[in-house]
Chain A
Amino acid sequence: MIMVEHILEMRNITKEFPGVKALNNVNFKVKRGEIHCLVGENGAGKSTLMKVLSGVYSHGEYTGDVIFNGEVQKFTSVRDSEKAGIAIIYQELALVPEMTVYENIFLGHEIRKGAAIDWNETILQAGEMLKRVKLNVNPAVKIKDLGVGKQQLVEIAKALSKDVKLLILDEPTAALNEDDSENLLKLLKELKAQGITSIMISHKLKEVIAIADTVTVLRDGQTICSLDAKKGEITENVIIKNMVGREIDNIYPKRNFKPSNETVFELKNWSAYDPGLGREILKDINLNVKKGEIVGIAGLMGAGRTELAQSIFGNAAEYQLKGDLIIKGQKKVFKHPDDAIRAGIAYVTEDRKGNGLILIDDIKQNITLANLKSISKNGVINQNEEIKVANEYKASLNIKAPGIEQKVGNLSGGNQQKVSLGKWLFARPDILILDEPTRGIDVGAKYEIYTIMNELVRQGMSIIMISSELPEVLGMSDRIYVVSEGRITGELSIEEATQERIMELATN
């Protein structure tokens, strides 16, 4: 084999999904033996690129060439890329909790003696791998008894056991505390000394700066730049500029309307402790929302934004909550989403397919679900009234479907989102929480949803908009809170907010 300078070269990679170009002519080069960091906003295309590389999207589903070790590769499955020496470790670890460390390390490529598994050899080798990742645990303990940090090391040990040449880590430190993060970064440097190349996707710029030899920035499915540590190009400023350097265009409809001074919603010292994770996921959150205001909650994925929304909405039975939730001057405690709905809160979830809509039901049933009471008498639904209501929302939200009897599962993302919105508008809330309101929908539908939002605040509703798209946050909000690691790291008026300023607070 010829030793080429670049262990990996991805040339002109383009990957399309229905309606969106996730990757547009991306070029990506990784030198042998370096730590290469891949950064970019949510949705920039980082994960898609890594899925192309690891064979999740098989050859033929994308255009362009993947050249690994000097050869053009045509992976059709993850197994192919593993064979070539590429291992990817996702944020959600792929370990079996009920199995032991050594079983997990060799899962899928068991060491055999004849037809049976050679357990002695397995345990022996697992011990070796654990030594390489500096993890001092008994290989016979179960994965579920290890903390997240140690589990991550087991994943790396698993990769090493497959004789990995290129290790990819997708936000490896997102779920780790500081000690574990530091540990992991140290280990990456040691592996580098052993000749293993790593690609790390990360949102934490401080870490990136600490360990990267090269940084590639992706934005909107395109390679923006490649920065070299030796040339001193890697600084926080430069990275942030390149990550966000997009012009805010006029896809945000103007709103000639100022919110009132009346505070309708307030959180005071709001904290949530998750006994499952054993840590506080929300810490001392203080925020307020005025009548007719759109408050943006910015922050990166995993910063605690969705947990915040769920805790407000009474869907956080598993958390221990502290602090006060105040609606129009009155303290409230929500034990169940129903309590929150009654108090005038609505929550359009981030995952409309997973927990927002009932995909096997039609538009009409979905729209009325959260407020069936208003169209029933003695528990009997007036189904004609229901059809009328559904048709009204279909028209006013411009839901494109042959009819309200259409199953929601058959609609496009944008129209599904409008159904979601319709459902919560029908619940007639005072405070509407929108979690990633425009994720995965096209520009046209986005504009429509923004227009609806403007109309709603004009009518006196208040909106809390959680979004990881900075232009959206800047384009729509009256005021912005930035969340990072469960804390509010800054409150910005729209006048002082810039993409750079938000990104700085979010990566804090």
Chain B
Amino acid sequence: MKFVKESRTLIKQNIRDYGMYIALFLIMLTFTITTDGLFISSRNISNLINQTGYIAVLAVGMTLVIVIRHIDLSVGFVAGFLGAIAAIMLTKMGLSVIITIPVILLLGILIGLVNGFLVAKLEIPSFVASLAGMLVFRGALLLVTEGTGTIIINDEFFNAIGNGFIPDIADVGNIHLLTLILGTLAIALYVWSQIRTRANKKKYNFEVTSLGMFILKISFVSVLIACITWILAGYNGLSWTVVVVLIVVALYHFISTKTVLGRHIYAVGGNPEAAKLSGINVKKITFIVFGSMSMLAALSGILYTSRLQSATTTAGTLFELDAIAAAYVGGVSAAGGVGKVTGSIIGALVMASLTSGMNLMGVGISYQYIIRGAVLAAAVIFDVATRKRRK
């Protein structure tokens, strides 16, 4: 009985988070059934995840932007523009990837600091400032691709970022061995860190979840990682895109939950006045968040350009709205101060799964938009409803 009670309070406290995972699970299950298992096939899942990469990194940055009560509409064309610059550096200027990528990321940060300046120092509403940025970078993208049209990239190393997979260490038939090993390592690392956290809490004499619940939780997550690993190992293994996204998510999750900077970001979102009176430099936080946003936009541009193996004149169109949708589906609140980086990734996966599944089912593009819109609305309604009930 105690176990049931504990699980009930756990669910009640975390209904928003759990709801999202359940939604993703249900969506995947539905598509798996309606497509006779095609959806869950290694190849499709691998493709799905790789296609989501460039939106996922944007969603991570957008989460923090929305958390501090702002918005950034410029990210789509910043990604498109910087992708084109990357293409030009690699082709016309003949620079190597090793130089190109850091330079592009740096340019991203610079653009973000300009946005931060407009929003924090000049106090222009971020909606307007970034709308202006969107127009400017759309123009800039056209300007740099005007003469050449689509720029084809032949750099194998660069193209691998969006299309390649991590190499295998040994040939064992259809299974990607290194992916399996990494998956196993990930599970081991997860279990070890959970046990350590629990032990640490016990050392402080804090209340911890019961042993049964603890084992249930780590087994569940371990099985989940194992499943994903198995599915990916069945195709080409881990792609470089997934590796990049995982690193970004891990880094931002760490910053947002474990560091002083993260706490300050959420405090600014929760109550800017109180944050300021607590000695937090609200302007500095705004600069950092916008800087990080545009850096991730640059990364998104790299991922997208690499995936297409070329820079196009329309790259980046509507990326910002996909990222914003992913963040909202992932539980970010427009009122500020609430929203998890991991949630936004799940949000991005939900949206990508819908597109992929409906494509496999042959649903017309018109219905796809309508359904995705409905899901976005439903997620926000669920959010508002659960938040009200908690009061």
Residue ranges of A at the interface with B (Cβ–Cβ < 8 Å): 313, 315, 336-338, 340-342, 347, 349, 354-361, 365, 369-370, 372-373, 376, 379-381, 383-384, 387-388, 409-410, 423
CB pair A338–B279 under 8 Å, yes or no, is yes
Closest approach, in angstroms, between the C-beta of B57 and any C-beta of chain A? Answer: 23
CB pair B204–A358 under 8 Å, yes or no, is no
Not counting A357-B271, A379-B259, a sample of 13 additional A-B residue pairs whose C-beta atoms are within 8 angstroms of each other reads A315-B276, A337-B278, A338-B279, A338-B281, A340-B279, A358-B270, A358-B274, A361-B337, A369-B263, A369-B278, A370-B279, A380-B259, A381-B260
CB pair B277–A384 under 8 Å, yes or no, is no
Given contacts A357-B271, A359-B271, whether A372 and B258 have CB atoms under 8 Å apart is no
Closest approach, in angstroms, between the C-beta of A47 and any C-beta of chain B? Answer: 24
- Taken together as a complex, chains A and B put the C-alpha atoms of A370 and B391 apart, in Å, by 26
Contact of A337 among B200, B266, B279 (CB under 8 A): B279
Given contacts A355-B271, A360-B270, A379-B259, whether A384 and B206 have CB atoms under 8 Å apart is yes
Given contacts A365-B263, A372-B260, A379-B260, whether A360 and B337 have CB atoms under 8 Å apart is yes
Interface residues on B, range: 20 to 34
Contact of B260 among A338, A361, A376 (CB under 8 A): A376
Residues in B with CB closer than 8 Å to A387 are: 204, 206
Residues in A with CB closer than 8 Å to B279 are: 336-338, 340-342, 370
Q: Which residue of B lies closest to A365 (CB)?
A: B263
Residues in B with CB closer than 8 Å to A338 are: 279-281
Question: Does B378 interact with chain A (Cβ within 8 Å)?
Answer: no
Residue ranges of B at the interface with A (Cβ–Cβ < 8 Å): 200-201, 203-204, 206, 258-261, 263-264, 266-267, 270-271, 273-281, 337-338, 391
Given contacts A355-B271, A359-B271, A384-B200, whether A370 and B278 have CB atoms under 8 Å apart is yes
Given contacts A365-B263, A376-B260, whether A337 and B277 have CB atoms under 8 Å apart is yes
Closest approach, in angstroms, between the C-beta of B267 and any C-beta of chain A? Answer: 6
Closest approach, in angstroms, between the C-beta of B259 and any C-beta of chain A? Answer: 5
CB pair B258–A383 under 8 Å, yes or no, is yes
CB pair A384–B260 under 8 Å, yes or no, is no
Residues in A with CB closer than 8 Å to B274 are: 355-358
CB pair B276–A337 under 8 Å, yes or no, is yes
Residues in A with CB closer than 8 Å to B271 are: 355, 357-359
Given contacts A338-B280, A369-B267, whether A381 and B258 have CB atoms under 8 Å apart is yes
Closest approach, in angstroms, between the C-beta of A464 and any C-beta of chain B? Answer: 16
Residues in A with CB closer than 8 Å to B204 are: 384, 387-388
Residues in A with CB closer than 8 Å to B270 are: 358-361
Residues in B with CB closer than 8 Å to A354 are: 273
Contact of B275 among A341, A358, A380 (CB under 8 A): A358
Closest approach, in angstroms, between the C-beta of B27 and any C-beta of chain A? Answer: 29
Residues in A with CB closer than 8 Å to B280 are: 338, 369
- Taken together as a complex, chains A and B put the C-alpha atoms of A335 and B45 apart, in Å, by 54
Residues in A with CB closer than 8 Å to B258 are: 380-381, 383
- Taken together as a complex, chains A and B put the C-alpha atoms of A359 and B391 apart, in Å, by 12
- Taken together as a complex, chains A and B put the C-alpha atoms of A53 and B281 apart, in Å, by 44
- Taken together as a complex, chains A and B put the C-alpha atoms of A380 and B206 apart, in Å, by 20
Residues in B with CB closer than 8 Å to A313 are: 277
CB pair B267–A358 under 8 Å, yes or no, is yes
Which of B258, B259, B274 has its CB near the most chain A CB atoms (within 10 A)?
Answer: B274
Given contacts A370-B278, A387-B206, A388-B204, whether A355 and B273 have CB atoms under 8 Å apart is yes
Q: Which residue of B lies closest to A349 (CB)?
A: B277
Q: Which residue of B lies closest to A410 (CB)?
A: B391
CB pair B277–A356 under 8 Å, yes or no, is yes
Closest approach, in angstroms, between the C-beta of A352 and any C-beta of chain B? Answer: 9
Residues in A with CB closer than 8 Å to B201 are: 384
Residues in A with CB closer than 8 Å to B260 are: 372-373, 376, 379-381
Q: List 26 A-B contacts (CB under 8 A).
A: A315-B277, A336-B279, A336-B281, A337-B277, A338-B281, A342-B279, A354-B273, A355-B273, A356-B274, A357-B274, A358-B275, A358-B337, A360-B270, A360-B337, A361-B267, A369-B267, A369-B278, A370-B279, A372-B260, A379-B260, A380-B260, A381-B258, A384-B201, A384-B206, A387-B204, A410-B391
Closest approach, in angstroms, between the C-beta of B386 and any C-beta of chain A? Answer: 14
CB pair A381–B206 under 8 Å, yes or no, is no
Residues in A with CB closer than 8 Å to B266 are: 361
Closest approach, in angstroms, between the C-beta of A215 and any C-beta of chain B? Answer: 38
CB pair B338–A360 under 8 Å, yes or no, is yes
- Taken together as a complex, chains A and B put the C-alpha atoms of A228 and B206 apart, in Å, by 66
- Taken together as a complex, chains A and B put the C-alpha atoms of A376 and B263 apart, in Å, by 11
- Taken together as a complex, chains A and B put the C-alpha atoms of A236 and B273 apart, in Å, by 40
- Taken together as a complex, chains A and B put the C-alpha atoms of A235 and B264 apart, in Å, by 54
Q: Which residue of B lies closest to A358 (CB)?
A: B270
Residues in A with CB closer than 8 Å to B267 are: 358, 361, 365, 369
- Taken together as a complex, chains A and B put the C-alpha atoms of A313 and B278 apart, in Å, by 10
- Taken together as a complex, chains A and B put the C-alpha atoms of A361 and B201 apart, in Å, by 21
- Taken together as a complex, chains A and B put the C-alpha atoms of A341 and B281 apart, in Å, by 13
- Taken together as a complex, chains A and B put the C-alpha atoms of A313 and B203 apart, in Å, by 39
- Taken together as a complex, chains A and B put the C-alpha atoms of A383 and B276 apart, in Å, by 22
Given contacts A336-B281, A360-B270, A387-B204, whether A376 and B259 have CB atoms under 8 Å apart is yes
Residues in B with CB closer than 8 Å to A381 are: 258-260, 263
- Taken together as a complex, chains A and B put the C-alpha atoms of A258 and B81 apart, in Å, by 69
- Taken together as a complex, chains A and B put the C-alpha atoms of A106 and B99 apart, in Å, by 66
- Taken together as a complex, chains A and B put the C-alpha atoms of A409 and B391 apart, in Å, by 9
Closest approach, in angstroms, between the C-beta of B336 and any C-beta of chain A? Answer: 9
Q: Which residue of A lies closest to B276 (CB)?
A: A337
Q: Which residue of B lies closest to A420 (CB)?
A: B274
Closest approach, in angstroms, between the C-beta of B138 and any C-beta of chain A? Answer: 32
- Taken together as a complex, chains A and B put the C-alpha atoms of A97 and B92 apart, in Å, by 56
Residues in B with CB closer than 8 Å to A315 are: 276-277
- Taken together as a complex, chains A and B put the C-alpha atoms of A305 and B174 apart, in Å, by 76
Closest approach, in angstroms, between the C-beta of A23 and any C-beta of chain B? Answer: 28
- Taken together as a complex, chains A and B put the C-alpha atoms of A313 and B274 apart, in Å, by 13
- Taken together as a complex, chains A and B put the C-alpha atoms of A365 and B276 apart, in Å, by 15
